[in-house]
Amino acid sequence: MIPDLSQLLSSLPPTTLPSGRLVEPEDGGPAPYWLSDAPPDLELWARLRSRHPESGLWPLLLTGLSSDERRPWVAGEVSPADMSSPEQHDVAELLARWWAGCATTDEDGGSAVTAPFGQDWPGLATPGDQAEPPDQLADECAEFLVDGRTRLGLVPAVRGADTLAVAGWSGPTNHTGDAGEISAVLRSWEDRFGVRVVGVGFATLYVSVAAPPTTTGHALAVAAEHFAFCPDNVWQGAETLAAYADQLLGAHSWSFWWD
């Protein structure tokens, strides 16, 4: 059940928030998030992130579709009632299932794309070595995402990974129609790589990464998870897993886009 957002918002100190409103889903139901009317100042995301343990509200930097900025956040084009709980999913099994579907499709051009693994799922990557404080790094990442189109969103969630399921985000619908699955993977990445969810668009996702891979072998294992999670990052980007892995070495932010 989604907590009473009005009550959670009222617990914030006066003058904390700019003007904004609760957004209800188009198909009805309680509002799953609050949305600012205008782009936030650069420091507001960090202040709200630091208050999350007390407020229960995780901040997101939200952007709309380039051809229609009302979609999905302003228009409430979300379906929280259709999303599962992240706790229902085994991440290793989930990624293995997605890998099997992606690694055997004709679209990837054969096993050269997924070399050195071919069609064999390599399993979950080992945790990274945390070199940066995750929350501080998330604050720095947020500063780079604020622009003239960005809105501030507040979602009632115990952890940032859960916000996509709670909000009812449907960005990866051509890959999975259940944001609860996406949130489950993000929970695992929070634990293993110090990931924090920072920005979400119509079908894009931006996270900060405190413990990225720093060796080629580890980067390949992480790249395999990314390919299962968001194959378009490879299919319509680096084109091969090996080339994509090179991009992940030491990278303190990850971005995803689903076609």
Q: pLDDT tens, 137-188?
A: 999 999 999 988 999 999 999 999 999 999 999 999 999 999 999 999 999 9
Asked if the model's pLDDT at residue 2 lies above 70, the reply is: no
How far is the C-alpha of 148 from the C-alpha of 46, rounded, in Å? 18
pLDDT digits (tens, 9 = 90+) for 11-62: 898 888 999 999 999 989 999 999 999 999 889 999 999 999 999 999 999 9
Query: In terms of Cα–Cα distance, which of 112, 119, 252 is closest to 193?
Result: 252
pLDDT digits (tens, 9 = 90+) for 105-138: 555 455 789 999 999 999 999 999 977 899 999 9
pLDDT of amino acid 110: 56
- For the four alpha carbons of 10, 12, 18 and 23, in that order, the dihedral sign comes to negative
% residues pLDDT > 70 (the chain)? 97
pLDDT of amino acid 4: 81
User: What mean pLDDT is predicted for residues 243-249?
Assistant: 97
136 Cβ partners below 8 Å, 6+ apart?
none
Query: In terms of Cα–Cα distance, which of 191, 6, 7 is closest to 86?
Result: 191
Burial, 49: exposed, middle or buried (Cβ in 10 Å; 0-12, 13-18, 19+)?
buried
Asked if the model's pLDDT at residue 224 lies above 60, the reply is: yes
User: What mean pLDDT is predicted for residues 82-102?
Assistant: 96
Contact assessment for residue 76 and residue 25, using Cβ atoms and an 8 Å cutoff = yes
Asked if the model's pLDDT at residue 221 lies above 50, the reply is: yes
Q: What is the mean pLDDT of the chain?
A: 93
pLDDT of amino acid 13: 87
pLDDT band at 78 (very low <50, low <70, confident <90, very high): very high
User: What mean pLDDT is predicted for residues 209-216?
Assistant: 97
How far is the C-alpha of 196 from the C-alpha of 189, rounded, in Å? 9
- For the four alpha carbons of 216, 221, 226 and 228, in that order, the dihedral sign comes to positive
pLDDT of amino acid 87: 96
Query: In terms of Cα–Cα distance, which of 188, 196, 192 is closest to 229?
Result: 188
